Each structure stands twice: as C-alpha cells, then as structure tokens.
Amino acid sequence: MSFNRDSLVALSLILASGSLMLASLEIREPDYGVLSPAAWPRLILIILGGLSVVYLLQSIRMPKKNKDDVPRKSIGEFILYWRNVIAVFSIFALYLIALPYLGMLIGNILFSFILLTVLGGWRGILMHLLVALGASGGMWLLFTFALEVFLPRGSLTGL
C-alpha cells in the first residue's frame, strides 16, 4: 500500500463531499411539493462521495512509481498530449460566455455540435449535427414542456 498524489486528491474529494453534504442540511424545506429541494444535491453528493472512496482505495492499492520512470516533457508535448482536455475546457468556457446571449436551446446545440466535431473529427459532421439537434432539442422539450422548467432565454435569440 502506498499513499500518493491520487490518494490526496481522493481524500480532498471525500472531504469536499462531506462538507457539501453538511451544507445541504441548510437547504430550506418549503411547505409545498412532494420532493425535497435537497434530494437531488444529496443524491449527487452520495454518488460523488462513493466514487471518491473507490478512487481512494484504488490509489492506495496502486504500485508506487519511481521518479526516474516519468519522462520529462516540453511545453509543446504537454499541450499536444492534453489537447482534447484543453479543447473541452476552452469550448465550455466559450459556451458559458455565450449562454446569456444565445439561450439554452441554441447554446446547447452549438456546444454539442462543436464539441463533437472537435473531438470526433470532420468526417461524421452530419451525424454530429443530428446528435446535437436530437439530444439538445430533446432535453429542451423535456424540461420545457414535460417538467415545466423555465430555461434561460437568450437576449439575441429569445429561445
């Protein structure tokens, strides 16, 4: 058994889950409705905490690496290796910036399409468009009409 960086991250996640679970006890209970407003956050926190415990156990069982085994990389190699992660976070940041202007429906369709195209390549562009339209449109229909949730409308589009 060894204690490494992954173990520290797992412990941090467990502590964060626990503190957020304690904070969820402060969520106000309204007089109406069947389901508590704290139900979904607590469910997600329980899942996150459970997965963090699994992460901790796996990280402790992992064999210890030698510092000499890790090759040194240049900045260019680092960016090339992590290009998909960098692209996802960059596209998500642009999505968050554009969301107030485009609204939930158009913003989600564009986000899904661009993300699928950047990660999946240009070859399946029609499939990316269909998946983006189907998934985003379906979720929008579900939340708007079935669940009657008010989703953010864009100041440019009104959708």
Asked, for residue 11, whether it belongs to a domain, the answer is: yes
Do 142 and 82 fall within a single domain?
yes
106 within 8 A of 159, measured Cβ to Cβ:
yes
Q: How many CB atoms lie within 10 A of CB 8?
A: 12
Do residues 111 and 48 share a domain?
no
Report whether 115 contacts 88 (CB < 8 A): yes
Residue range(s) defining the domain that contains residue 126 = 75-146
Residues 58 and 89 in one domain: no
Pair 82, 52 in one domain: no
Task: Give me the tens of pLDDT residue by residue for the chain, a chain 159 residues long.
Answer: 667 788 899 999 999 999 999 999 888 887 776 778 888 899 999 999 999 999 999 988 877 666 655 566 788 888 888 899 999 999 999 999 999 998 888 999 999 999 999 998 888 899 999 999 999 999 888 888 888 888 888 888 766
pTM for the model stands at 0.61
Side chain identity at 144, as an amino acid letter? T
79 and 142 part of one domain = yes
The reply to whether 154 falls in a domain is no
d(CA 6, CA 12): 10
Q: Alpha carbon of 125 to those of 102, 107, 111: distances in Å?
A: 22, 18, 14
Whether the CB-CB separation of 159 and 103 falls below 8 Å is answered with: yes
